[in-house]
Chain A
Amino acid sequence: MNKKQKKNLIRIIISAILMVALFFVPAKGLLKFFLYMLPYLIVGYDILIKAFKGIKNLQPLDECLLMVIATVGAIALALIGSGDYTEAVAVMLFYQIGEWFQSYAVGKSRKNISDLMDIRPDYANLKVYESDEPENESEKFSIDKVDPDDVEIGSVIIVKPGEKVPIDGVVIKGESSINTVALTGESKPRQVKENDEVLSGFININGVLEIKTTKEFDESTASKILELVEDASSRKSKSEDFISKFARVYTPVVVVLALILAFVTPLVLFILSKDVSMFDWIYRALTFLVISCPCALVISIPLSFFAGIGSASSKGVLIKGSNYLEALSKVDTMVFDKTGTLTRGVFEVSAIHPNTIAEKELLHLAAHVERYSSHPIAMSLKLAYENEDDGCEVTDVNEISGKGIIARVKEKKVYVGNEKLMKDIGVSFDKCGKCKHHIGTTIHVAIEKNGKPEYEGHIVISDVIKEDTKETISSLRKNGIKNIVILTGDEKRIGEAVAKEIGADKVYAELLPQDKVRIFEDILEGKNRDMDRDSDIDRDKDLNDSNNNRRNINNSKLNGLVAFVGDGINDAPVLTRADVGIAMGAMGSDAAIEAADVVLMDDNPSSILKAIKISKKTLRIVYENIYFAIGIKVLCLILGAFGIADMWLAIFADVGVMILAVLNAIRAL
């Protein structure tokens, strides 16, 4: 509780006690009026002041003013009529209780959510050498506790056990286990040693680490993530927009209805020479004013989204806006990149089939050509040939996207790539009989001899499907995802094998990066939505024919959104085109964090499921609140118009609904 909340709570309590006490005081007439004014003013003086300022600033529909009109009206009615002031005082009292509760609940959830994301480090231990240019490690140094903002790139910081890594960097000394749960949602500690990269937000568990910083504090992972999450609720969802528009119309409409109720209806009834009690109609109008505040709606919807986003980020799922959280719940088609997303993206060489040269020599050449590439296939070739970094000279490297690499190794021109590359350079080869048993990517190697490339053999590399992929896909189906599509640059055979294994509806294989975008746009337009689960994978499908595919008919029924899941490596264009772009295992990859709408901090497919579940839950709560709050309010307005609902019920419609809606919203946490 902050100061203001404490003060208001005391006012509410004093006023409530006075009310109860006054119930037993047998005062009459003016004395009673003055006595009841005490609790009224104690609890409501600031509202009166605000209402007055509202008039001064020409804010006619200020909710404080409405509250004041309602209560003063009720007091006036009591003064001339019934002499029952409790109602007026109670309205003000409950209004204040509602405001107090709202402020408390919102403050509390604000704190809860920021605690969830408590990865902001408060300080850094900077290692400062006593002489300006230390000549060796053993030179005297001191450790300064500084603001992480003041640490320059390349400084050395020390992280003791139990402390957070304040800035991204590389370990230069020490070994330790670190807790990465705040960033990845993965609770198993990770081991780090010299030369390993560490990210801010990790917590050091046991050893002392010396870290050379590679980024400034503002650019470090923890700062970026916090900024992203805090900005997230600024991108408003459709439900939020609807509510703020509704609120803008709601209050004026109710006030106009109140005016009609107070003055027009009695007049009409009078003209019809019916028996009218002016007081009765004014009382009904005042009841209207009490219900006129749209606060329950306006507070509970953004609070639900905020809680949903907070809850997701504590589970390692960063959602970049309320709009994306909303969109996620409407996704019915999920398009996956295969490599690195459904599969581990770690390839292993599973077979080497040379034509004439030795197995080792074939691998040797292939590894050299891939020396400067960071493609997963290159990595696995380099891994398989251990001493890639020998004296051999590699020059004229030319990487052809989606096909392969051509380079000169020791003056010999070597071609390493897929079938397309071989076709391009005019090298023919026979289907390899030995390869029938290997499901994997085939890398062909050709060497230039006498100015002409000649086929030298191939290497088979296979990827492994992630452990939880299959289970995730089937759970996704249970959670409303109707179409699962795979896009891959890999061979058709492999794509289809993976699709069958995990149970995908459709696979588009052998795609270049630009094809991925084109196919994805087709899917977005609904042309290729696969309605037919049973037909499994379309084996004879030619990519160019995709537009006049027989299944293109009657797909208009599916109007859900399309999400794309990729690992952020060379699929950024698709990520940005998707209704919801999901980047996986994006920790530390700025490009992916930039392009995606939802960032999964680890690379388990099951995180997608978490995100969908949180999204659905949040949206359910949002709709509950919208229907519940509007429903109750409209009901009370109708009852009030017919004189069935009194002000007590009106207070429930206002404050009670708000409290319930806020409590419901917090469930999203």
Chain B
Amino acid sequence: MSKTYKIDVDCANCANKMEEAAKKTEGIKDCVVNFMTLKMKVEFEDGVDKKEVMENVRKNCKKVEDDCEIFL
């Protein structure tokens, strides 16, 4: 189960950090952040509540890079 979200972030390294943070979030199988198209492609574990997981992803991303946004 995967889904793509629009994101906003200023620097390429920050995008890499977001990717790392998202990958570590519980319920996320894999995640690819594409800085050039400002998109985050997330693959969820089976049977998780996507909304809840994405809220956590956003929280974790904000921790590593304050100036970022994920449009849920």
A interface residues, Cβ below 8 angstroms from B: 50, 53-54, 57-59, 63, 99, 102-103, 106, 110, 230-231, 233-234, 236, 244, 247-248, 293-295, 298-299, 302-303, 306
Contacts and interface: CB of A to CB of B under 8 A. Distances in A.
Nearest to A51: B66
A53 B66 contact: yes
Contact of B64 (A59, A106, A231, A302): A59
A295 B32 contact: no
B13 A294 contact: yes
A103 B66 contact: no
Given A99-B11, A298-B16, A234 B66 contact: no
A104 to B, nearest CB: 11
17 contacts: A50-B66, A53-B66, A54-B66, A57-B63, A59-B64, A99-B10, A99-B11, A106-B12, A233-B34, A233-B37, A234-B34, A234-B37, A298-B11, A299-B13, A302-B12, A302-B36, A306-B36
Contact of B37 (A99, A230, A236): A230
Given A57-B62, A110-B38, 5 more contacts: A59-B63, A233-B36, A234-B34, A295-B13, A298-B13
Contacts of B26: none
Interface in B4-41: 10-13, 16, 32, 34-39, 41
B34 to A, nearest CB: 5
Contacts of A294: 13
B63 A63 contact: no
A367 to B, nearest CB: 49
Interface in B33-72: 34-39, 41, 62-64, 66-67
A295 B37 contact: no
Contacts of B62: 57
Leading 3 A-B pairs by shortest Cβ distance: A306-B36, A299-B12, A298-B12
Contacts of A230: 37, 39
Residue among B16, B41, B63 with the most chain A CB within 10 A?
B16
Nearest to A230: B37
A600 B24 CA distance: 38
Nearest to A231: B41
Contacts of A103: 10
B55 to A, nearest CB: 17
Interface of B: 10-13, 16, 32, 34-39, 41, 62-64, 66-67
Nearest to A61: B17
Given A50-B67, A54-B66, A244-B16, A299 B32 contact: no
Contacts of B39: 230, 234
Given A50-B67, A54-B66, A57-B63, A247 B13 contact: yes
A541 B62 CA distance: 64
A302 B35 contact: yes
A102 B14 CA distance: 13
B36 A295 contact: no
A102 B16 contact: no
Contacts of A63: 13
Contacts of A50: 66-67
A292 to B, nearest CB: 11
A202 B49 CA distance: 41
Contacts of A53: 66
B41 A234 contact: yes
A67 B16 CA distance: 19
Nearest to A57: B63
A49 to B, nearest CB: 8
B63 A293 contact: no
A122 to B, nearest CB: 19
A57 B10 contact: no
Contact of B16 (A54, A57, A59, A247): A247
A260 B6 CA distance: 42
Nearest to A4: B10
A59 B39 CA distance: 23
A504 to B, nearest CB: 38
Nearest to B60: A57
Contact of A295 (B12, B63, B64): B12
B19 to A, nearest CB: 8
B67 to A, nearest CB: 7
B20 to A, nearest CB: 8
Contact of B11 (A110, A233, A236, A295): A295
Given A247-B16, A295-B12, A110 B64 contact: no
A303 B37 CA distance: 10
B23 to A, nearest CB: 12
B41 to A, nearest CB: 6
A303 B41 CA distance: 18
Contacts of B64: 57, 59
B40 to A, nearest CB: 9
A110 B36 contact: yes
A234 B11 contact: no
B71 to A, nearest CB: 16
A172 B15 CA distance: 48
A643 to B, nearest CB: 28
A99 B67 CA distance: 13
A148 B14 CA distance: 36
A371 to B, nearest CB: 44
Nearest to B67: A50
A102 B37 contact: no
A225 to B, nearest CB: 14
A236 B34 CA distance: 9
B11 A102 contact: yes
Contacts of B66: 50, 53-54, 57
Contacts of A303: 12, 36
A311 to B, nearest CB: 13
B29 to A, nearest CB: 15
